[in-house]
Structure 1
Amino acid sequence: MKAIGIYGGSFDPIHLGHLLLAETAREELALEQVIFVPAAQSPLKKHRPYINDADRVELIKLAIRENPGFTLSEVELKRKPPSYTVDTLNFFRQAYPDHALFLLMGQDSLNTLTGWHRFEQLFTLATLAVGVRPGFPAQVPPALEAFRAPSAQSKGIVFFHNPEVAISSSAIRERLRLGKSVRYWLEPQVLKYILANKLYT
């Protein structure tokens, strides 16, 4: 069965850590494609993204333009916020009825999953694919142990070896605010767009 990875987030801005996670998952999990899904408003964050939706979409397009295994969906931007992952997975389950779905995330997200809206339903819609990030050992939290293995109630949890690159969007925003270099933290065309449009400064 063909498989698709769903990768949601604020992508504020999208950086090399995001791209490495997506590419590693695509290769290790034999995904036909990885779909980047920018959120309009994360229910777990008190603030909206720091730049507008159009600029975030353009940055993602620039970042993934040379990878035929990466695509973009604006489904969450077209819905009234907040962005609930369970609704997004339901959308893609209907759009790709003959594909297996993998929800891509980092270990830090898995650790907070029980706080997500209707988190139990996520396991009925997709396999959770967790990339190990720096400072977060690969482990299933006790509250999710019942969902670890595939069953009638769960498609299970799998781990993949994400390259350990300690880059974050918040650190990039702060460095840009202070006028510090973020070269090699971002795809070159993404950095060029940010500087040309004076984003995050």
Structure 2
Amino acid sequence: MKPIGIYGGTFDPIHIGHLICAQVVLEKRNLEKIFFVPCKISPFKQNEKPTEDKHRLEMIKLSITNSPHFDFSDYEINNERVSYTIDTIKEFKKYYQNIELIIGYDNLVLFDKWKEPDKILELAKLIVMKRVNEIPTKGKHKYFDKAILVDTPTIEISSTEIRNRIKRRLTINYLVPEAVKEYIYNNKLYI
């Protein structure tokens, strides 16, 4: 069976950049499917409070409805603790043999500070989405050499920028799927 991908993050909100890059990784790595896993509490952002879990999860569901190779997991948001990737991978290992952990290049730079990075690499392949204009920095730490870099499009969209645009009453057309945009406005998120 083909490997599955785990793509974690805050997804506050999920946007077109997340989806396009995930599609590229799905194709280039020949994955069975990719699971979007919204975190409960990010280990590196423990003082930040994201939008309610139910909203972030619903936006993910809306954005992947017509994508048979995209799925979601509520494993992390159902736990009332800091979301550590190693715990999520151990949970997925109960059901899937071959797992590929998908992270952004910015997370590779911090990977040596993650909880049990060596154990993560025992259980999963580390797939790093690298924008074409990002220059790999070999030698920063040992995990750079263990990562599989996948060139992904450079899409200058961020969840922070989307939230800021909404606060400033600017359009978010084309930045998020239409169903997500409607959900944001209907639930008065980020105002």
Q: Do they fold alike, i.e. is TM over 0.5? A: yes
* Cα distance in 2 between the residues matched to 1:24 and 1:107: 15
Q: Which residue of 2 aligns with 1:152?
A: none
Q: Give the Å deviation of 1:140.
A: 4.2
Q: Give the Å deviation of 1:134.
A: 6.9
* Cα distance in 2 between the residues matched to 1:116 and 1:108: 13
Moved over 6 A (4+): none
* Cα distance in 1 between the residues matched to 2:24 and 2:186: 30
Q: Compared with structure 1, are the counterparts of its residues 90 and 125 closer, same or farther at alpha carbon in structure 2 (3 Å cutoff)? A: same
Equivalent residues, number: 190
Q: Which residue of 1 aligns with 2:179?
A: 189
* Cα distance in 2 between the residues matched to 1:9 and 1:16: 14
Whether 1:128 aligns to 2:126 is yes
Q: Which residue of 1 aligns with 2:88?
A: 88
Q: Compared with structure 1, are the counterparts of its residues 109 and 141 closer, same or farther at alpha carbon in structure 2 (3 Å cutoff)? A: farther
* Cα distance in 2 between the residues matched to 1:105 and 1:88: 14
* Structure 1 unpaired stretches of 5+: 149-155
Indicate if the aligned counterparts of 1:103 and 1:126 stay in contact, CA closer than 8 A: yes
Q: Which residue of 1 aligns with 2:189?
A: 199
Whether 1:107 aligns to 2:108 is no
Q: Pairwise CA RMSD of aligned residues? A: 1.5
* Cα distance in 1 between the residues matched to 2:49 and 2:82: 10
1:32-111 equivalent positions in 2, closer than 5 A:
32-45=32-45, 46-49=47-50, 51-97=51-97, 100-111=98-109
* Cα distance in 1 between the residues matched to 2:138 and 2:92: 25
TM-score (norm 1): 0.90
> What amino acid is the match of 2:3?
A
* Cα distance in 2 between the residues matched to 1:94 and 1:140: 33
Q: Compared with structure 1, are the counterparts of its residues 130 and 200 closer, same or farther at alpha carbon in structure 2 (3 Å cutoff)? A: same
* Structure 2 unpaired stretches of 5+: none
3-state SS, counterpart of residue 200 of structure 1: coil
